[in-house]
Chains A and B, each alone.
Chain A
Amino acid sequence: MRKKQRDERKKANRILAVFLVVALVGFMIVNLAVKDRESSALENRSLSQRPRITWQGITSGTFMERFETYESDQFVGRDAFREIYTFFRRVGGKHEENGVYLGKSRQLLEDISVPDPKLLSEDINGLNLYAQTYPDVTTHVLLVPDAADILSDRLPTFASVADQDSLFLDFRAQLDESIVWMDAAPVLRAHTDEKLYYLTDPHWTTQAAYDVFVETASDLGIEDPYVTEYESLCATYLFNGTLASTSGFHLGLKEQIDVMLPVNETAYVVTYVEEQEKTASLYSVEALDTRDKYALFFGGNYPLIEIDTASEDESVLLVVKDSFANCYLPFLIPHYGKIIVVDPRYYSGSINEVTDTYGVTETLFLYSGNTFFTDANLNGFLEAD
Chain B
Amino acid sequence: MKNRSRNSYIAAVCIIAVVIIIAIVAVVRIRPHASSSLKAEADDTRVRLEAMADRDISSAQETIDQVQGPGEEETEVVHEGGGEIVFSLDGGMLPLEELREYNYKEIFSDCVVLGDSIAMGLDSYGILNSSEVFAVVGVYIGQVDASLTNAAAMNPKKAFFTYGVNDLNTYEYQLDWYRDDYTSLLKRAQELMPNTELYVALILPVTDYALSEQPNYARMDEYNEIIKEVCDELGVHWMDLSFTFLDEYYDDDGIHAYPEFYYGWLYYMAVGSGLIQEGESQ
Question: How far in angstroms is the closest Cβ of chain A from B188?
Answer: 19
Provide the bound-state CA to CA distance between A312 and B69, in Å.
Answer: 10
Provide the bound-state CA to CA distance between A356 and B154, in Å.
Answer: 23
Binding site for B on A (CB under 8 A): 5, 9, 12, 80, 83-84, 87-88, 233-238, 252-254, 256, 259, 261, 267-269, 271-285, 288, 296, 304, 306, 308-312, 314, 337, 349, 353, 356-359
Question: How far in angstroms is the closest Cβ of chain B from A267?
Answer: 4
Binding site for A on B (CB under 8 A): 2-3, 6, 9, 23, 26-27, 29, 31-32, 34, 38-39, 41-42, 44-46, 48-50, 52-53, 55-57, 59-61, 63-64, 66-68, 103, 105-106, 126, 129-131, 134, 150, 153-155
Most B Cβ at <10 Å: residue of A83, A259, A281, A311: A281
16 new A-B pairs (CB below 8 Å) besides A84-B23, A233-B48?
A233-B45, A234-B42, A237-B38, A254-B32, A259-B49, A267-B63, A268-B64, A276-B130, A278-B154, A279-B53, A280-B57, A280-B59, A296-B49, A311-B67, A337-B68, A357-B103
Question: How far in angstroms is the closest Cβ of chain A from B77?
Answer: 21
Smallest CB gap from A255: residue in B = B32
Q: Total A-B residue pairs with C-beta atoms closer than 8 Å?
A: 125
Question: How far in angstroms is the closest Cβ of chain A from B211?
Answer: 34
| Set B27, B29, B34: member contacting A237, Cβ < 8 A | B34
Specify which chain B residues have a CB less than 8 angstroms from the CB of A87 in the assembled complex: 23, 26-27
Provide the bound-state CA to CA distance between A87 and B105, in Å.
Answer: 55
Contact B63 A310 (CB under 8 A): yes
Specify which chain A residues have a CB less than 8 angstroms from the CB of B6 in the assembled complex: 9, 12
Most B Cβ at <10 Å: residue of A233, A274, A283, A285: A285
Specify which chain A residues have a CB less than 8 angstroms from the CB of B41 in the assembled complex: 233-234
Provide the bound-state CA to CA distance between A267 and B134, in Å.
Answer: 26
| Set B29, B48, B53, B61: member contacting A284, Cβ < 8 A | B53
Provide the bound-state CA to CA distance between A348 and B38, in Å.
Answer: 42
Knowing A234-B38, A269-B61, A310-B66 touch, does A278 contact B153 (C-beta < 8 A)?
Answer: yes
Question: How far in angstroms is the closest Cβ of chain A from B34?
Answer: 5
Question: How far in angstroms is the closest Cβ of chain A from B234?
Answer: 26
Question: How far in angstroms is the closest Cβ of chain B from A209?
Answer: 17
Contact B23 A234 (CB under 8 A): no
Pick 22 A–B contacts, CB within 8 A, sort by A: A5-B3, A87-B26, A233-B45, A235-B45, A235-B46, A254-B32, A254-B34, A261-B48, A267-B59, A267-B63, A275-B130, A279-B53, A280-B57, A281-B49, A282-B52, A283-B49, A284-B53, A285-B49, A306-B131, A308-B64, A310-B63, A353-B126
